[in-house]
Each structure stands twice: as structure tokens, then as C-alpha cells.
């Protein structure tokens, strides 16, 4: 049976061009009436055997040239999400529907399948990217379409939820591209099931609690504070509520009645005495807005004398997002949210969300967000979308709970493929040393996505700038430039192999790549120790273009010979852990600013030195200097500052300046986004 879509109007573009460039291409083709069929796309539903792992797969018949992403996504009527769930043996009691094409999978699935085996676990990283990105999300989706639709394997794709900031800014969405996408693409890239909105609300509730507490402590005596924190009931008796006992325990006070506290204990309990200069918690919103990078608050007439400087971050930079991604259960999330440190008291003691009495309320706001969202690819394979932490100040990976659920659902012989943000030096390193430490899960295979374009840049090619046409060097054959750039690929292979996993290189092929260039990459990858290196055309052909990659990944997963190895033990000092990571970049040493030294000493005294390290540095180089391409060595890595996400569970050193609130360009993506008011479909989204 064939499902015929409407003829497409589309823009001709080269796969090697970035999102903005696609929108600015010169030539728009509208098929003439008698030529409409040339541009039709057909989808066939192949007959599956009764033993098939996935029964809802949809085999694509692709068009050439490849239409715009949104046109491809809109041309497909997704399966009802209950059909995708049924393929995973999920019954309606295991999920809550969010419309026809999305569902929240409940954490009870983990408990029900506790005794069953896990599938193979695969992480997708990449070489050091150009500003255009090298197609990690597209490769992740294409591989899963190959495994599910062509190799008859049970497979689940695990992806991060994208922020609306880049969607309306310069980068565009993150649903993959071409014929390897998550659908509905507009729902994936916009509100999804509201998780980021829940994070925004929880984050800003905590921010309001901080400033409100400072305000009230500045205007009330210890006794008045205590009376308001523990008001009398109808019988005139005062009592502590549950969350207050957490603070009492922290202070070493074992008394259970407010009336029994001494004046000194009342002061310790009721007065947090927050040092405004130490506050690290900021308000957030999920939109790029450069004018919120530095603001003042407290200028109202009722808050006289309470003015202080602060800033907004983008929502995905909130520690609550990192907590969501690293939590292992509802109870674990409650503890992590309560332990988040917002600053210090004037005596230098850490002040937590539970000290402010808000940890429980934050958990209530996050209770639905902890459940991953089930979606599907263009070819009908299942996807779990969950969490979207920054890949620099946070660890840049989707959630532990989504991976755990997926591994149980696919079972032995199945595959779970998850993506790690930025290059492997950042995303894969944090996947191994942070995410796998907390999850207890062990990957069998790590994929490194490479492109001829990026390798040419690392070989000495001209700068690649988002929104500008590519230099001729990137669209004409130059094998020597590619071979020179393979030093970057070799470094990523060496680093990733050190974790004990098999490394498969996926070369994301563009139409301008020559066979000689592709062969040069494959030969260099194998010489550097890759288990295999495969040329992929999943952008243009969907799962069919990644079948060879699927075969290579299956072989790699079935032939692991080493246990997972971490880069450093947790009992190393903060500096020793930082230096171990710096050496993996190629640094000869580390230089700490006075501020960094001060923070390291403080966190060590506060008992946080046993946490893993989450290095915040540029994604465009192994070093701290984004202009240093290839695989630089002998540099000294400068640590400007050191901060902590205690609830999430890591220390993050800042290598240079990290912006946590992006700005909008001169011509943002929102110029192209609109709604077809006749059909109700989103147009122009990329």
C-alpha cells in the first residue's frame, strides 16, 4: 500500500550548507503542473514477518534533491504513538498520552522489568565540529532507522530535548535532518510535553525564594522570623514541618519542637544569613535574549535597599536540567533538588534549596518532567526524548532514566543509541566519566561522526562561518587537506578507545565529497585504531543509507573485550581530576587563576572534592583557543573560575568565558517560521 503525499515546493540546497544558508539559497523550484509527480514522495509499509521486532516501520522512497527538513517531516503522517508503544510491549498503563503522537513513559516500567536483561548500549559523539555541526543527531536517528527498519532489531533512540533558544535563533532545531528525523518535527523542537517549562518554573521559584528570604531576614528579628516560619495552630502549638527537619539535622539539632530551641538555636535555624555576593543561582527563560545577561533586581518601592545585580540564563543551563538528566529515580531527584547549593552564608557555609524550604515544592513541579517522552522517527522506530542539559557547563547528554527504560525495553540483542553533545572530547568524555558513573551502565560501542568538511578545516582550511557560503576548498576535492585534518579524528579515536569501548567512525557523506577523500578518512580511521569506519548517506536515504553502519555497530557491540575504564578515580583531588582531563586534550599543564584557587579550596573544605569534573570549554578545539584546529599539544590550559552543581553532582571549571544566555543574530530563524492557517501546519522550521 502506498501513501501519496502532496507535491512539494522546496529549495535546492547542498547537504554541506548550514541551516541559515539553506534558507538563503538562490534557486526555488516550483514544479509545473504536468511535472508534479517528479517531486512526490512515497512511503510504503513493508509486510513484516510475525517474528519482526518492530511492526510499525515505514520504508521510505526518497526524493532527490533532498527537500527541506520541515517539508519531509510534514509529508509523513506519523503512526499513533500507541502503535509505537505496542512494538515495545508497553501497555496503556505504562504511559500517559500527550495527544496522538507523544506519550510520557512512566518510571514504573524500570521496576517491572528489573529482572530482565539489557540491550547493547551505544553512544554517538563526533570530531571537533565546525560551527555548522557535523550531523550527530542525524546520524543517531539514521543508525536507529537502519537497525529497526532494515536489520529487524529492537532499537530505541535516546535524544536530548532541544531548547527553543536555538530553534528561533541561528542554529535551528535538533530533530535530525533529511530522511533521518524525529517526527512530528515541530512538536519535538517546540514545547514537546512541557518539561523545559517545568524546569523554568521550578528554577524561578527557587530564585524568588532566595531574594525573598534575604528581604525578610533584613527586616525581622530572630524571634519574629521563627514565629512566622513556625506559626501556631488552632490550639496555639507550634511545630516543624517535614522539610524543616532536614535543616535541623544539618545543624545538628535533635529537638522536635520549636518551643524547645534555645535563642542561639533559633538564630541558627531561622536565619540563613545569605551572602548576596555569593549567590550563584540565576533566573532562566527558554529564549535567546542578550539583554538579560546582566540586570538589576529589587528596584521596586517596597524593596528599598535590596537592589542587586544578577542575570538570566537560558533554561537548559539551569542546574535543575542537569539534575533531571542525571537522576535515577523520583526519590533520587527529590534528594538532588534539595541539595542544590545557591550560595553561601556570610560564615561561608553552603545554603541549599532545602535550607530555603523549597526542595519539596521543586519536586512537585518536576514530577511529570521526570518521565521520558516517547516519539518516533520517519521510519517508525521509537525515540525517547528526555532532558537537554548544556554540553559545556553541564554534561550535554540525555537522561539516565530514558536510557535505563530503553535498555530494558529492547532487551538482550536490542540496541539503545544515545547522543553526546559537541565533540567526543566534551560530550563522550562527560558521558563516560559523569553519566556512566551515576547510572552504572556500560556502553559497548562509541561512534565518532566525521565529515570531510570538518576534517578539511582541521587540516588548515579556511574558517567556516555559520550563515556564510562555504569556501571553494570545501566543495572541491583536496585529499591532502583531508589527510592533514585526520589528526583530529585520530586524537578522538585514541581518547575514546581508552575507555575500553570499540570505536566506529561514521563518515557523514555530503554530495560534494569525492571517493578519494572518503577513502582517505576510512584508511586514517582504521590506522588510528577504529574498530571500523563506514561511509553513511542517511541524510539522503534514511535508514537504508546507514545499514553498513548498523552492521559495524552490531559487530562492535558483540566483540567487546575490555571493561569500562574511567579517566580518573573520584578520590583524586579536584586539581588532579582537572589535570587528568587536560592531559586528554593534549595540554602540558594547567594554570589556575586566583579566583579558581579560592573556589577549589572552598569546595574542598565544604566536602565536595569527591565529585566528578565537568569541564566547561570551547567545543571548537581540543584547547581553550577555538582557533587552534587539528590536535594541538603542549598548551597550558587556563582555569578562570571553578563552580559547582552540587545537586546535579559535579564541579565545573570554566576554561575561558562561557555564555549561558545566547543572543539573537541579525537574521534569526524566526523570520522563516509561520503557521499555515489553512492546514494548521508549521512552516519554515528547520
**Bridging pattern class, strands 312-314 and 283-285:** parallel
Burial class (CB in 10 A: 0-12, 13-18, 19+), 297: middle
pLDDT of residue 44: 35
pLDDT of residue 468: 87
| CA-closest candidate to residue 117, choices 343, 422, 410 | 410
pLDDT of residue 29: 31
pLDDT of residue 630: 97
Helix/strand/coil for 391: coil
E strand or H helix that includes residue 210: helix 195-219
pLDDT of residue 439: 97
d(CA 448, CA 492): 8
d(CA 6, CA 684): 17
Angle between helices 359-366 and 195-219 (to 10 degrees): 160
pLDDT of residue 40: 34
Helix/strand/coil for 568: coil
d(CA 200, CA 178): 31
pLDDT of residue 3: 35
pLDDT of residue 657: 81
What are the DSSP E strand ranges found in 92-244? 95-97, 103-105, 120-126, 155-159, 176-177, 180-183
- pLDDT below 70 — which residues of the chain? 1-55, 171-172
Contact indicator for 426, 125 with CB cutoff of 8 Å: no
d(CA 181, CA 179): 6
| CA-closest candidate to residue 608, choices 581, 579, 585, 642 | 642
Contact indicator for 178, 538 with CB cutoff of 8 Å: yes
Query: What ranges in 340-416 are assigned the alpha helix state H?
Result: 359-366, 400-410
d(CA 72, CA 565): 41
Rounded to two decimals, the pTM is: 0.90
d(CA 269, CA 249): 10
Note if the bond before 184 is cis, omega within 30 degrees. Answer: yes
Amino acid at each position: 500500500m502506498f501513501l501519496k503525499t502532496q507535491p512539494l515546493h522546496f529549495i535546492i540546497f547542498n547537504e554541506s550548507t548550514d541551516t541559515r544558508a539553506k534558507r538563503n539559497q538562490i534557486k526555488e523550484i516550483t514544479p509545473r503542473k504536468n511535472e508534479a509527480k517528479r517531486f512526490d514522495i512515497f512511503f510504503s509499509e513493508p509486510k513484516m514477518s510475525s517474528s519482526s521486532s518492530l511492526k510499525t516501520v515505514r520504508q521510505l522512497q526518497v526524493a532527490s534533491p533532498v527537500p527541506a527538513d520541515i517539508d519531509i517531516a510534514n509529508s509523513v503522517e506519523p503512526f499513533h504513538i500507541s502503535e509505537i508503544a505496542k512494538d515495545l510491549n508497553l501497555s496503556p498503563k505504562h504511559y500517559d498520552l500527550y495527544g496522538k503522537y507523544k506519550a510520557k513513559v512512566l518510571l514504573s516500567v524500570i521496576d517491572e522489568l528489573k529482572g530482565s536483561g539489557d540491550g547493547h548500549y551505544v553512544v554517538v559523539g563526533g570530531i571537533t565540529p565546525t560551527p555548522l555541526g557535523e550531523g550527530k543527531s542525524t546520524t543517531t536517528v539514521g543508525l536507529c532507522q537502519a537497525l529497526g527498519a532494515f536489520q529487524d532489531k529492537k532499537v530505541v533512540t535516546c535524544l536530548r530535548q532541544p531548547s527553543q533558544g536555538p530553534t528561533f535563533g541561528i542554529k535551528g532545531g535538533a530533530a535530525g535532518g533529511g530522511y533521518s528525523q524525529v517526527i512530528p518535527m515541530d512538536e519535538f523542537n517546540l514545547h514537546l510535553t512541557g518539561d523545559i517549562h517545568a524546569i523554568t518554573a521550578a528554577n524561578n521559584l527557587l530564585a524568588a525564594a532566595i531574594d525573598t528570604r534575604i528581604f525578610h531576614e533584613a527586616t525581622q528579628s530572630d524571634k519574629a522570623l521563627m514565629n512566622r516560619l513556625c506559626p501556631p495552630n488552632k490550639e496555639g502549638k507550634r511545630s516543624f514541618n517535614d522539610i524543616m527537619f532536614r535543616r535541623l539535622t544539618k545543624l545538628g539539632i535533635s529537638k522536635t519542637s520549636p518551643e524547645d530551641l534555645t535563642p542561639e538555636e533559633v538564630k541558627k535555624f531561622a536565619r540563613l544569613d545569605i551572602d548576596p555576593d555569593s549567590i550563584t543561582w540565576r533566573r532562566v527563560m527558554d529564549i535567546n535574549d542578550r539583554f538579560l545577561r546582566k540586570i538589576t533586581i529589587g528596584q521596586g518601592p517596597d524593596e528599598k535597599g535590596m537592589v542587586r545585580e544578577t542575570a538570566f540564563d537560558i533554561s537548559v543551563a539551569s542546574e535543575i536540567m542537569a539534575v533531571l538528566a542525571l537522576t535515577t529515580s523520583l526519590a533520587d531527584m527529590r534528594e538532588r533538588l534539595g541539595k542544590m547549593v545557591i550560595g553561601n552564608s556570610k560564615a561561608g557555609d553552603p545554603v541549599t534549596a532545602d535550607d530555603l524550604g523549597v526542595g519539596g515544592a521543586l519536586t512537585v513541579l518536576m514530577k511529570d518532567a521526570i518521565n521520558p517522552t516517547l516519539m518516533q522517527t520517519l521510519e517508525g522506530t521509537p525515540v525517547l526524548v528526555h532532558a537537554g542539559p548544556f554540553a559545556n557547563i553541564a554534561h550535554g547528554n540525555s537522561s539516565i532514566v530514558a536510557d535505563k527504560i530503553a535498555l530494558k525495553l529492547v532487551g538482550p540483542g536490542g540496541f539503545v543509541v544515545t547522543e553526546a553533545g559537541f565533540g567526543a572530547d566534551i560530550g563522550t568524555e562527560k558521558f563516560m566519566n559523569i553519566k556512566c558513573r551515576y547510572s552504572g551502565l556500560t556502553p559497548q560501542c562509541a561512534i565518532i561522526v566525521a565529515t570531510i568538511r570538518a576534517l578539511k578545516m582541521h587540516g588548515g582550511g579556511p574558517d567556516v562561518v555559520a550563515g556564510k557560503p562555504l569556501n571553494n576548498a570545501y566543495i572541491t576535492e583536496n585529499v591532502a587537506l583531508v589527510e592533514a585534518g585526520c589528526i583530529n579524528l585520530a586524537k578522538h579515536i585514541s581518547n575514546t578507545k581508552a575507555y575500553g569501548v570499540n570505536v566506529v567512525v561514521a563518515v557523514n557523506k555530503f554530495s560534494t565529497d569525492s571517493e578519494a577523500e572518503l577513502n582517505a578518512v576510512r584508511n586514517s580511521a582504521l590506522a588510528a585504531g577504529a574498530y571500523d569506519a563506514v561511509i553513511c548517506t542517511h541524510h539522503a536515504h534514511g535508514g537504508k543509507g546507514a545499514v553498513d553502519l548498523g552492521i559495524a555497530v552490531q559487530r562492535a557491540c558483540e566483540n567487546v573485550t575490555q571493561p569500562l575504564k574511567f579517566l580518573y578515580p573520584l578520590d583524586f583531588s579536584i586539581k588532579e581530576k582537572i589535570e587528568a582531563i587536560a592531559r586528554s586534550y593534549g595540554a602540558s599543564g594547567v594554570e589556575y587563576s586566583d579566583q579558581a584557587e579560592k573556589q577549589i579550596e572552598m569546595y574542598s573544605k565544604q566536602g565536595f572534592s569527591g565529585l566528578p569534573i565537568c569541564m566547561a570549554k570551547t567545543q571548537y578545539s581540543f584547547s581553550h583557543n577555538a582557533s587552534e584546529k587539528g590536535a594541538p599539544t603542549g598548551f597550558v590550559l587556563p582555569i578562570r573560575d571553578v563552580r559547582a552543581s552540587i545537586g546535579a553532582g559535579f564541579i565545573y571549571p570554566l576554561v575561558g568565558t562561557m555564555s549561558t544566555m545566547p543572543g539573537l543574530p541579525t537574521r534569526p530563524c524566526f523570520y522563516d517560521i509561520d503557521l499555515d492557517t489553512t492546514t494548521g501546519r508549521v512552516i519554515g522550521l528547520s
